[in-house]
Structure 1
Amino acid sequence: MKLVEVLEQQYGLDHDTAVESSNTFLRALRARPDDESFTIDEWPAHLWRNALPKNYKHITKNISAEWINLRFKNLALTNDVIHLLETLREDYLLGLITNGSSRAQWQKIERLGLRKYFDCVLVSGDLPWEKPDQQIFFEACKKLNVEPKTCIMVGDRLETDIKGGKKAELGGTVWVPLQKDEVASDMPDFTINKVTELPEVLPNSPKFKHSTSKIC
């Protein structure tokens, strides 16, 4: 809806056209988040060019830049999440596993400054597997030099994060649903409302000191 506001207020599109253009762009991006025949920033501009009405093609470059700024502003870690990661890392090894094309995912990782919070970062686009394939979880465990049974998977997607964690027979799975009415088909070991509640379900909580567990 932020995109719709920008298209309406800054570029004069009527509401219905702004909604349709935004939805068309987002559907195209989700279907194909990257195309290496374009630079990483040119690709979304190309998708916007196809999504906008003919008489608004001239704003393609500007709205693409607006979208990129909005995206990373809304993806940025909050202070509470940064504190959580920094505190967890005092006693746990932390791994990040993300599905997606290599360039698109690394762009997010780098622009959001995520690397410094994790001991291992895996992008499925660099590997022959993606979540929920158990092999990508085993690879993370290998990088961290730990056994799968000592790891906990924390994720918001049942079909990839929780299902994959269970297939890999990790020590536990923690689900953070994106929508309150979402029903868990692959039952996680724990469900929390937001990631900052994670310490409540970890071993030796709430201060989670002196634990030997690892978190992926």
Structure 2
Amino acid sequence: MAGETYNENSDVLAILFDLDNTLIQTRNGDSRACNKLVEILDQQYGLPSEAAAESATNFLRAFRARPDDDSFAIDEWPAHLWRNCLPKNYRHIAKSISAEWLKLRFHYLSLTPDVIHLLETLREDYLLGLITNGPSRAQWQKIQRLGLRKYFDCVLVSGDLPWEKPDQHIFLEACKLLNVEPRNCIMVGDKLETDIKGGIEAELGGTVWIPLQKDEESSDLPDFTIEKVTELPEVLPNSPKLKRSAGAADNIKTC
């Protein structure tokens, strides 16, 4: 665990979280879903394992590059990608495979019990906000399917707004909706170039980094570095005065 301290002159009243690869393990979960689909394609549909692996790899690459397309219904877009990635004589199963993909994906992306406990415990003492970059429908689909909304006092998706992280305005908007000053908020996320840089430029009270790769380095140094989000309480201030502020909570606007 690296870092020094938060702004000593500021009470921490709110915690802003990133979503993907911070609260949910998106990259790992999507990879696990595709690995399972390789087995399904081989064992249930008779697609040779090498071709199945190639199809799944191509699908995941295409999906990560473009997780949504507004010209398709939200659940039809993955089916379209599978249709393009499967061998020609297997394209008729694209809709079925896409349904399996969505089922497996949200199974592997579900909040773990320890993360649920973390959020429930933190919400007793702090205001919680969620700030996530990405297309509106794709991000809200995750938020809704995983039942995340109830854990947060405010949720901001960049696809709904004129800014995305690291633009300081999206962090300041979250502070505004929570009715707290930026110096009273901390940002927790996995990306130095968006979560940490943006938190610093918005002059938040502190930043906590959860690197995907341990060898990542940047001049935008976070206040703390932890290995997983459940370690967050270890670096939070432990003062009685830092309890959830009734005054701040009174005027929260939902978003």
Do both share a fold (TM > 0.5)? yes
Q: Distance in 2 between matches of 1:6 and 1:184?
A: 39
Q: Deviations over 1:30-52 (max 9, x none)?
A: 22211122111011101110011
TM-score, normalised with respect to structure 1? 0.92
Cα distance change on mapping 1:3 and 1:177 into 2, 3 Å: farther
1:1-216 matches, cutoff 5 A: 1-179=35-213, 181-185=214-218, 186-204=220-238, 210-212=241-243
Q: Distance in 2 between matches of 1:18 and 1:194?
A: 33
Q: Distance in 1 between matches of 2:48 and 2:196?
A: 41
Cα displacement (A) at 1:5: 2.4
2:130 alignment partner, SS class: strand
Task: Check conservation: 2:124, 2:244, Cα contact below 8 A.
Answer: no
TM-score, normalised with respect to structure 2? 0.78
Q: Deviations over 1:116-169 (max 9, x none)?
A: 000000000000001111110011011001111111100112221111111212
Q: Distance in 2 between matches of 1:210 and 1:3?
A: 50
1:95 alignment partner, SS class: strand
Task: Check conservation: 1:148, 1:171, Cα contact below 8 A.
Answer: yes
Q: Distance in 2 between matches of 1:176 and 1:213?
A: 24
Q: Which amino acid aligns with 1:183?
A: E
Structure 1 window deviating more from structure 2 (125-134 vs 22-31): it is 22-31
Q: Which amino acid aligns with 1:211?
A: L
Q: Distance in 1 between matches of 2:212 and 2:117?
A: 21
Q: Which amino acid aligns with 1:53?
A: P
Moved over 6 A (4+): none
Structure 1 window deviating more from structure 2 (154-163 vs 109-118): it is 154-163
Cα displacement (A) at 1:183: 1.5
1:13 alignment partner, SS class: coil
Q: Which amino acid aligns with 2:100?
A: E
Task: Check conservation: 1:150, 1:213, Cα contact below 8 A.
Answer: no
- Equivalent residue pairs, number: 210
Cα distance change on mapping 1:192 and 1:213 into 2, 3 Å: farther
Unpaired runs of at least 5, structure 1: none
> What residue is the counterpart of 2:253 in the other structure?
none
Q: Which has the higher contact order (CA 8 A, sep 6+)?
A: 2
Structure 1 window deviating more from structure 2 (12-21 vs 161-170): it is 12-21
Q: Which amino acid aligns with 1:171?
A: G
Q: Distance in 1 between matches of 2:139 and 2:79?
A: 17
